[in-house]
Chain A
Amino acid sequence: MIISLRSMSYEELKQVLTKDDKIVVWSCDLCIKYCGLGGLEKARILEDMLKEDGYNVVGKEVVSESCLINLVKKHKVNREELFREANTIIVLACESGYECVKTVFNDKKVIKTMKTVGVGNLTSHGKAVLITPFEWTGIDPNINGYRLNSVAEKTDLYATFFDAEKKPKPKMVNIKINGKLYKAREGSNLLETLISLGFKIPHLCYKPELSPAGRCRLCLVKIKGERRLLPACCTQVKEGMEVIAEDEELNALRKLILEMILAECHYEVLPRKSELQYWIRRYRINKPSFKLLTEAKPIDDSSEVLIRNPNICILCGRCVRACAEISGQRVLDFAYRGSKTEVVAELNMPIGQTDCATCMACVNSCPTGALTSKLIYQKTLNPILLF
């Protein structure tokens, strides 16, 4: 992975901005995220900080790999309205990612905030370390890697995000959850709020990087004043909101929905570490109550990097949204109707024959393991696929 560090302070960033600028915060979702300087969370923080200081942030954009110039071009087309309005882009990406944005948006002010220092590893603790620095850093290659803090000291760069200098203070409101009073950020996603407050709300179709869809119905909650149960993932936090997030009825309903999901999924081949398995275990479903409705479908291993097993797809649509929103490619989509609905690649082709950019946005989004990365092991001439 590419190791980058922040090259400007928040004050320096403000100096290159004007209050008339219409700003988009652009972030890559790969290496820079593992360096702790990018991804959706950091883009949100920077957006909050700038808004608090009176700057006009018109949006943020997260892209699966900013160094893939064709993805950057597609984001420009897909979010045409946003980029027509914006005249400034702050890039949270490595230097390659910045070059792509600068080239595609050559009519806008594109601000580089990172400096790439070399290549490194992602450790088991989720931290990045620098292995082979660029020569200008004056640091020798090291097989065990350098921590980013020590690299930042030697190169006069920053290893932390902008918020280390100034924490944003978003507007908080009072909400009641299960009869208890809590403070939550106004306008934030209710599901994210509940999770951050420690509630274990099952959810399979929601991912913060993607637009909410409310497909799986697992996060249904009771809200005072509403006639029906509402999916928390599609609800925003408001002042005075009273929410029942967990009770006997909701738990029974969630268990039933999980069992219904399993009626469309070949339970026995579910990977042990998938999100769906986690919720199955948590709701103590030992054996699905309903008969399996779907017939076994062939596994698609035509791609060089991923395997698609439609037998454990629950049609949550995360991969479809990831392909459209994070990758920008729109290779995956739903086909057919009703009980025959399935996710297909382009014109129902093997994924290896499509325009898939192999950015892995779909694999990283899949909650069941229906999309997994390919690990090939050849002992003899016949390859064995492990997934």
Chain B
Amino acid sequence: MIFSRVLPYEDVVKQLNKQDSIAIISCNGCARTCGSGGLRGANKLRFRLISDGYKVTDVIVVLYACSEPSLRELKRKVKLDSEVNVIISLACSAGWACITRAFPDKKVINATEDVGLMVIDTDEGTFELTTPYRKYEQQVGSEYKVGTGEPIIEERIMLEV
């Protein structure tokens, strides 16, 4: 699975106008596991945007945002509000690319950043960064909570990386 981290809120709103009509598409796969996506991640961003005066009309949670068949099914079942001109992607960079291609007439903002590959223990509720992108090389072996992405100080998965 891929570990992606939500960008600072300020970096996301910098790309928005108050007149924008916004839809949030959130991934329910890896991004939900690492706390950046899923319904929880989408609602967190949505309520913050609404409280700051932005117009969020639609929130969609799709199983795998990185899969074209999955997004095709989404487009078949869901009709986005006709006013929507901006989509915020809460998925990894691959999910964002797929959403961008699926909605060529909308501005698609990537609200996350890829950290690297992770190993998950759903019984323990933790995940560990194993193969990072260069920017996060220092954090290899760090552990986080499943569902929130909060760092764990104590090591739980005894992995030799």
Contact = CB atoms under 8 A, between A and B. Distances in A.
Query: Which of B63, B77, B133, B158 counts the most A-chain CB atoms under 10 A from its CB?
Result: B63
A358 B32 CA distance: 11
Contact of B60 (A68, A141, A143, A377): A377
A304 B28 contact: yes
B146 to A, nearest CB: 10
A355 interface: yes
B28 A131 contact: no
A103 interface: yes
Interface string B77-121: 110010000000000111001101100000000000010011111
Nearest to A123: B68
Interface string A291-321: 0000000000000110000000000000000
B120 A122 contact: no
Given A70-B124, A304-B32, A373 B63 contact: yes
Contacts of B119: 67-69, 96, 99-100
A141 B93 contact: yes
Interface stretch (A113-121, A169-177, A205-213): A113-121
Given A70-B124, A119-B94, A357-B122, A377 B58 contact: yes
A1 B158 contact: no
Given A121-B98, A124-B68, A2 B62 contact: no
A119 B61 contact: no
Query: Which of B2, B67, B114 counts the most A-chain CB atoms under 10 A from its CB?
Result: B2
A330 to B, nearest CB: 13
Interface string A50-85: 000000000000000101111000000000000000
B161 interface: yes
B141 to A, nearest CB: 11
B118 A132 contact: no
A70 B2 CA distance: 17
Interface residues of B, number: 50
Given A67-B117, A131-B97, A99 B122 contact: no
Contacts of A1: 64, 66-67, 94
A68 B59 contact: no
A379 interface: yes
B160 interface: yes
B73 interface: yes
A121 B33 CA distance: 18
B61 A99 contact: no
A103 B157 CA distance: 10
Given A120-B94, A131-B94, A375-B60, A96 B117 contact: yes
A69 B63 contact: no
Contacts of B58: 377-379
B72 to A, nearest CB: 7
Nearest to A103: B159
19 contacts: A67-B120, A99-B130, A100-B119, A120-B66, A121-B66, A122-B69, A124-B69, A134-B131, A143-B100, A145-B97, A355-B123, A357-B122, A358-B122, A374-B63, A375-B60, A377-B60, A378-B59, A379-B57, A379-B58
The 8 closest A-B pairs by CB, nearest first: A376-B61, A373-B63, A378-B59, A119-B94, A132-B93, A70-B123, A122-B67, A357-B122
Interface of A: 1-2, 65, 67-70, 94-96, 99-100, 102-103, 116, 119-124, 131-132, 134-135, 141, 143-145, 304-305, 355, 357-358, 360, 373-379, 383, 386
